[in-house]
């Protein structure tokens, strides 16, 4: 999808879904100012995305938790160490019939 600039200012956003920017490869500018981002484990993916994107992104200022308040997510290299991954791997079991050949 060809979206070059997106403004999400002052929308009282606390968190964004992990795949929200997946189809926006052509994104050049993103404005997230004026939102109340919770810089907890849910924001870990966003912190990584901010480091890797080529888009110019406005400051993402944390509204919480208290120890992160007023810090810029753009400048952080890690969040709380107690973050546990919520990524799951799908495994599929296949039933295989075994046969023996007697001669």
Q: What is the 3-state secondary structure (H, E, C) of 52-70?
A: HCCCEECCCEEEECHHHCC
Residues 49, 34: contact at Cβ < 8 Å?
no
Structural domain harbouring 30: 1-103
Say if pTM beats, i.e. exceeds, 0.85: no
Domain count, the chain: 1
What are 33-79's pLDDT values in tens digits?
999 999 998 899 999 999 999 999 999 999 999 999 999 999 988 77
∠ CA 93-95-97, nearest 5°, is 155
Q: Count CB atoms within 10 A of the CB of residue 68.
A: 20
Q: Count CB atoms within 10 A of the CB of residue 39.
A: 26
pLDDT of residue 9: 96
Query: Can you give the CATH number for the domain in which 48 is found?
Result: 3.80.10.10
- Distant-in-sequence, close-in-space partners of 63: CB < 8 Å, separation ≥ 6: 14, 35, 36, 37, 38, 69
């Amino acid at each position: 999808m060809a979206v070059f600039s997106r403004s999400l200012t002052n929308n009282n956003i606390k968190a964004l879904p992990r795949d929200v920017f997946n189809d926006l490869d052509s994104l050049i500018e993103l404005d997230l100012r004026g939102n109340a981002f919770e810089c907890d484990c849910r924001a870990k993916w966003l912190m990584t995305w901010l480091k890797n994107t080529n888009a110019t992104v406005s400051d993402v200022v944390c509204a919480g938790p208290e120890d992160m308040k007023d810090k810029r997510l753009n400048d952080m290299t890690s969040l709380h160490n107690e973050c546990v991954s919520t990524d799951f791997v799908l495994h599929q079991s296949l039933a295989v019939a075994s046969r023996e050949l007697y001669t």
